[in-house]
């Protein structure tokens, strides 16, 4: 089963609107065709509108890094999935470990967000991943499997098949200590196996699973060579024009 690779940059809380404009101006025409790869930038919500204008007529897609699960109402400071969708945003990253750890997001919140994102016609990039303690205790598969099952609860088979799941071991995020190729393959396969158990093999064969955690131009090809790794979610190495473009070299 061939799945189209998806490489997503996650800028986190970095860049001003001007820096974002300059970045998009520099990369927009160098992005490989989206017949070959889906290329996405996850930008801060405050300049999603400018991002969408910047990528118009290019093969670059835009993601929000989070959203709320209600469309409108008295939720001061939150960003509505309906409002984000109205800007033409394609993807929303949800369940990032920084959101879970620093902002107390639960599996239940993430599941509600997944439903809200689909309701608004966008695609979720759903993150999962274990702590170092869980990894060292040999419980990574069990822990991550439970996160994935909880996040996908109640979605249709069609919605799950079109989702993107990002396996990101917390101990590898921003640390320079990336997972081995074998670990990345084993865990991305474990994520796919959970989808197979919950929604059937056909759905599992279609869902795209990314690896994330210290992915760089010099290691991305190793991950992309794994049969169950369909792409990468990249923080630090997505911030500079040269390294972002170099992440896409594996396509050629
Ligand atoms: P990193 O971040 O590439 O800087 O490790 C990945 C992520 O948090 O998505």
171 is in an annotated binding site: no
Residue spans of the domains in the chain: they are: 6-251
Alpha helices in 120-251 (DSSP H): 132-136, 140-152, 157-162, 181-199, 201-206, 220-224, 241-247
- Predicted local confidence at residue 252, as pLDDT: 76
* pLDDT single digits (tens) 110-159: 999 999 999 999 999 999 999 999 999 999 999 999 999 999 999 999 99
CATH number of 6-251: 3.20.20.70
Catalytic residue among 98, 105, 130, 168: 168
Catalytic residue among 96, 98, 105, 130: 96
214 is in an annotated binding site: yes
Ligand 1 centroid to residue 233 C-alpha, Å = 7
For the question of residue 115 being annotated catalytic, the response is no
Alpha helices in the chain (DSSP H): 17-27, 48-54, 81-86, 97-103, 107-119, 132-136, 140-152, 157-162, 181-199, 201-206, 220-224, 241-247
The finding on whether 169 has its CB within 6 A of some atom of ligand 1 is no
* pLDDT single digits (tens) 202-230: 999 999 999 999 999 999 999 999 999 99
- Predicted local confidence at residue 2, as pLDDT: 86
């Amino acid at each position: 089963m061939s799945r189209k690779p998806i490489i997503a940059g996650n800028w986190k809380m970095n860049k001003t609107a001007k820096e974002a404009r300059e970045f998009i101006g520099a990369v927009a025409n160098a992005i490989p065709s989206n017949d070959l790869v889906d290329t996405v930038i996850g930008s801060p919500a405050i300049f999603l509108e400018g991002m969408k204008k910047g990528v118009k007529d290019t093969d670059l897609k835009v993601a929000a890094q989070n959203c709320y699960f209600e469309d409108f109402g008295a939720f001061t400071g939150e960003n509505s999935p309906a409002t984000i969708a109205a800007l033409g945003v394609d993807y929303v990253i949800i369940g990032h470990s920084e959101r879970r750890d620093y902002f107390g997001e639960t599996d239940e919140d993430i599941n509600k967000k997944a439903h809200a994102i689909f309701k608004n016609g966008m695609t979720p990039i759903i993150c999962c991943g274990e702590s170092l303690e869980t990894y060292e205790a040999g419980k990574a598969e069990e822990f991550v499997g439970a996160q994935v099952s909880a996040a996908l609860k109640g979605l249709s088979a069609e919605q799950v098949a079109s989702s993107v799941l990002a396996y990101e071991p917390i101990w590898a995020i921003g640390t320079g200590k990336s997972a081995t190729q074998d670990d990345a393959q084993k865990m991305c396969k474990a994520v796919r196996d959970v989808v197979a158990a919950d929604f059937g093999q056909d759905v599992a064969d279609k869902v795209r699973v990314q690896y994330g955690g210290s992915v760089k131009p010099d290691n991305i090809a190793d991950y992309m060579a794994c049969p169950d790794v369909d792409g990468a979610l990249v923080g630090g190495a997505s911030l500079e024009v040269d390294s972002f473009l170099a992440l896409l070299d594996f396509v050629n």
